[in-house]
Amino acid sequence: MKLRTQARYSVRMMTAIAKLSGGNGPVGLGEVSRHCGISRRYLEQLVTPLRNAQLVRSLSGRKGGYALARNPDQIKLGDIITAAIGPIAVTECAADPRTCISSEFCNCQAVWALINLRINQVLNEYSLADLMDKNFQKNIQKEIRRLAG
């Protein structure tokens, strides 16, 4: 499974807004674009669902732009990804077994549901504040090595 570009770029954009604003007010999409390496035009498309999900707020005017609607530690990666692309579902039947026309003879639905559950657990375990922590990458690498055995 591969996360769609909208999801990955939305997380990058939210992280950039959090870093660039530093709690000091809104940040323009031009500045976010330069920081992230994502075109301003694409960011304009990404920001609407994030604003609708009340993850960012927009401020008009000369010093306007976008700011986080909540503290970074209150915004989970799962919130951002769900706002960007909708609920995570590795298969349709993982989200709702009734949608599967093969459910009577399929032995895989429980595995797909478990994979889906674990992905969502990880996404909801980490916040924007975690991503901004300078030790986060190192700690995640340790966790990966530990789990990989």
The whole-number average pLDDT for the span 27-34 is 95
In CATH terms, 5-148 corresponds, of 3.90.330.10, 1.10.10.10, 3.40.50.2300, 3.40.640.10, to 1.10.10.10
Domain ranges of the chain: 5-148
Average pLDDT of span 50-67: 92
Average pLDDT over residues 126-139: 94
Residue 99 has pLDDT above 80, yes or no: no
Q: Does the structure show a pLDDT above 80 at 65?
A: yes
Whether 103 shows a pLDDT value over 70: the answer reads: no
- Name the pTM for this structure: 0.89
DSSP secondary structure string for all residues of the chain: ----HHHHHHHHHHHHHHHHHTTSS-B-HHHHHHHHT--HHHHHHHHHHHHHTTSEEEE-STT-EEEESS-GGG-BHHHHHHHHH-S--SSHHHH-GGG-TTTTT-S-HHHHHHHHHHHHHHHHH-BHHHHHSTTHHHHHHHHHHHHH-
